[in-house]
Amino acid sequence: MVTSSSPEVTDSESIVTQAAEWVVLMSDEENPPSTAQKQAFLDWRNQDPQHDEAVDKLQTLLGDIQQFPRSASKAALSVSTSKAYHQHSWQTLAKTFVLLMVIFIPMFVWLPDKVTLMMADKQTSVGDWQSYTLVDNSVIMLSSDSAINVDFNHSQRTIHLLKGEIRVKVSKNPQRPFVVKTEHGSLTALGTEFSVDKRSDYTLLKVIESTVAATCQRRGCDVKPLQPGQQIRVYAEHLGKVSDFSIADASLMWNKRQLMVDGMPLNEVLTILNRFHKGYFYFDAQPLENYHVSAVLPLDNPQAALSLLADSFPLKVTHITPWWTAITVVPKT
Amino acid sequence: MVQPFNMSSNKQIVFDQPSYKNSFIASLYENHHYWLTGWLSKKLGCSQNASDLTHDTFVNVISKQNDLTQIREPRPWLLTIAKRLLIDKRRRFLLEQAYLEELKLSLDDAEPIPSTEDVYLVINALSTISEALETLPSHVRQAFILRHIDGLTQSAIGKKLGVSTTMVQKYLIQSLVACQQAFETETF
């Protein structure tokens, strides 16, 4: 128990510790110290007046404590040494709650979408193109930054387009219609080729071969099945007007990875380009709507495409970070 | 109750300090006591307690032995001292309340009622002990209370805490040293 009582150690802290060691050892009722131990204790006390004084102080302290009313002292020490006085005020609780909400509410809004995308059956990252042959021999191509879920059963083949753009070449089977669904509506085809591009507020259907029927999500809106070379915007609430597009131009994108546009508003061009670019294009759509683009742009190199656009239009392109590119209109002087 | 300052060695230094330090403290008081009182009255909802606590905070500042001129950010520093004093006060208040309540219950009619002075001497001592135990692990704390308040033997404490008697002795030594040191550096 008593490890050292060497005379060199005179530091007051170690004297207190040694004195405490002796006092504890000497006060064990069940294991009374032997005569030799008692003598050693006496010797230690006599060795140095400081030793004697330290033992005296401890014994006085313990003697005093013994005189304290027992139950009241016990209550006092249990209360004050428990964490009771560390309790949080309501203010602290309220602040913690608000902070948690600020963190969790966006997470609950953002996470389900992210998880759905992460769990998607097939997906491509930015700049990536993939082609898959499904079990029914239909071929599906995913453009950059796209994701789908495949849901086939006996009566229907369903593709859920979660994000981005796909081109489908359907293997004919009248018993099992082939349906592409997005949050905006459904596109039903029987043995045909078409592309579907999901954008933020609508889904763009382009029919390349045979016919495709389009319906929107909410009301039972219908339109005559679309013919090759026809396109339509499917909004959640209604269908847009059927218009024509060039199949050859559209195929350039899938075959050559080039975006062929003819009179497309500049803001739309930028939206498409952004899907092939790892960062975010920041622009105000309003002033860009008035500029119409007719060009062939390289989709594999969206930065080069952007420079091409900046050469022909009064645009100012600012790269704030690799992830953030601001595009503004500079009126010509 | 009031001990002369030379009782503890660190107190003396205040009087040995060169006068520029005293003038530093004066300017510290002048510049900061007003907002500190304001902050504390908002926090405590009582201007009387707030000015008491402000006073205590500056007393605490003066009794510090380290070089005050090194303090770059007096506001957060003063706030830290004030908050710590506030916690000490709360601890002391809870302790006092628990002690007095239990004392009332435990006193027999036959027993003589202890004098107020005696009661407060015990409360002061318990407060010092509590502060010393506060810094120790819970087993050490419990060992001290079981031994010196409940009067259990060392082996009984070992059984209760599920440790060996040798371990209990270690706990008792540690807590005893902490308490002794707390009484030595006692400021009142």
The pLDDT value given to residue A94: 84
List the structure tokens of A127: 């700049």
Is B179 inside any structural domain?
Answer: yes
Same domain, B13 and B89: yes
- Residue A68, by phi and psi: left (phi above 0), alpha (psi -120 to 50) or beta? beta
- A73 reaches B (C-beta below 8 A): yes
Is A231 inside any structural domain?
Answer: yes
Is B1 inside any structural domain?
Answer: no
Is A102 inside any structural domain?
Answer: no
Same domain, A61 and A128: no
Question: What ipTM was reported for this prediction?
Answer: 0.72
CB-based contact B68:B21 (threshold 8 Å) = yes
Cross-chain Cβ contact A75/B129 below 8 Å? no
Residue A315: φ, ψ to 5°? -110, 145
Domain with B27 in it: 8-108
Residues facing residue A214 across a β-bridge? A187
Q: How far is B27 from chain A (nearest CA, A)?
A: 33
The pLDDT value given to residue B6: 38
Distance of CA B26 to the CA centre of its chain: 26
pLDDT digits (tens, 9 = 90+) for A72-131: 888 888 876 555 444 456 777 888 888 888 888 888 777 777 777 888 888 898 888 999
pLDDT digits (tens, 9 = 90+) for A18-72: 999 999 999 888 888 889 999 999 999 999 999 999 999 999 999 999 888 888 8
Which residue, among A27, A26, A29, has the nearest Cα to A39 in the 3D structure? A26
Residues facing residue A133 across a β-bridge? A139
Provide the mean pLDDT of chain A.
86
Query: What angle (nearest 5°) sits at the alpha carbon of residue A254, between those of residues A250 and A256?
Result: 100
Residues of chain B neighbouring A85 (CB-CB closer than 8 A):
87, 90-91, 94
Counting other chains too, the contacts that A18-21 makes at CB distance below 8 Å and 24 or more residues apart are A18/A44, A18/A51, A18/A54, A19/A51, A19/A54, A19/A55, A19/A57, A19/A58, A20/A58, A20/B172, A20/B173, A20/B176, A20/B177, A20/B180, A21/B173
Is A6 inside any structural domain?
Answer: no
The pLDDT value given to residue A139: 92
pLDDT digits (tens, 9 = 90+) for A138-170: 999 999 999 999 988 888 899 999 999 999 999
Share of chain B above pLDDT 90, in %: 20
Which residue, among A162, A153, A157, A158, has the nearest Cα to A119 in the 3D structure? A162
Q: How far apart are CA B24 and CA B13, in angstroms?
A: 15
Measured between CB atoms, which of A28, A31, A77 is closest to B149?
A77
Which helix (H) or strand (E) segment holds residue A292: the answer is: strand A292-298
Query: What residues 3-62 of chain A have any CB closer than 8 A to a CB of chain B?
Result: 13, 16-17, 20-21, 23-25, 28-31, 57-58, 61-62
pLDDT digits (tens, 9 = 90+) for A252-270: 888 888 888 888 899 989 9
Residue B4 has pLDDT above 80, yes or no: no
Nearest CA in chain A to B120: A68
Count: domains in chain B: 2
End position of a domain, from candidates A197, A223, A255: A255
Nearest CA in chain B to A74: B149
The pLDDT value given to residue B21: 64
- B47 reaches A (C-beta below 8 A): no
Q: How far apart are CA A198 and CA A272, in angstroms?
A: 11
Confidence at A197, pLDDT banded by 50, 70, 90: very high
A250-280 CB burial, b ≥16 within 10 A, e <16: bebbbeebbbbbeebbbbbbbbbbbbbbebe
The pLDDT value given to residue A332: 62
Counting other chains too, the contacts that A124-131 makes at CB distance below 8 Å and 24 or more residues apart are A124/A164, A126/A275, A126/A276, A126/A277, A126/A278, A127/A276, A127/A278, A127/A300, A129/A257
Q: Which residues contact B182 (CB under 8 A, 6 or more apart)?
A: B128, B129, B131, B132
Cross-chain Cβ contact A76/B148 below 8 Å? no
CB-based contact B77:B61 (threshold 8 Å) = no
Confidence at A333, pLDDT banded by 50, 70, 90: low
Residues facing residue A293 across a β-bridge? A264
Same domain, A236 and A266: no
CB-based contact A237:A218 (threshold 8 Å) = yes
Residues of chain B neighbouring A80 (CB-CB closer than 8 A):
91-92, 94-95, 98, 126-127, 130, 134
Give the mean pLDDT of A238-244: 89
End position of a domain, from candidates B50, B74, B108: B108
- Residue B171, by phi and psi: left (phi above 0), alpha (psi -120 to 50) or beta? alpha
Is A155 inside any structural domain?
Answer: yes
Q: How far is A48 from chain B (nearest CA, A)?
A: 19
Same domain, A282 and A227: no
Residues of chain A neighbouring B134 (CB-CB closer than 8 A):
80-81
The pLDDT value given to residue B168: 94
Pick the more confident residue, A89 or A215: A215
Is A277 inside any structural domain?
Answer: yes
The pLDDT value given to residue B5: 39
Size of interface A-B (CB pairs under 8 A): 118
- B129 reaches A (C-beta below 8 A): yes
The pLDDT value given to residue B7: 38
Residues of chain A neighbouring B165 (CB-CB closer than 8 A):
31
Residue B156 has pLDDT above 90, yes or no: yes
Cross-chain Cβ contact A79/B95 below 8 Å? yes
The pLDDT value given to residue B148: 92
Cross-chain Cβ contact A30/B145 below 8 Å? no
Nearest CA in chain A to B102: A72
Looking up residue A230, the CATH number of its domain turns out to be 2.60.120.1440
Confidence at A330, pLDDT banded by 50, 70, 90: confident
Which residue, among B70, B1, B74, has the nearest Cα to B35 in the 3D structure? B74
Confidence at B1, pLDDT banded by 50, 70, 90: very low
Cross-chain Cβ contact A73/B99 below 8 Å? yes
Same domain, B93 and B31: yes
Domain with A266 in it: 257-333
- B91 reaches A (C-beta below 8 A): yes
The burial class, CB within 10 Å (0-12 / 13-18 / 19+), for B15 is exposed
Residue whose pair of structure tokens reads 């900061």 in the numeric block: B32
List the structure tokens of A313: 């239009």
Residues of chain B neighbouring A20 (CB-CB closer than 8 A):
172-173, 176-177, 180
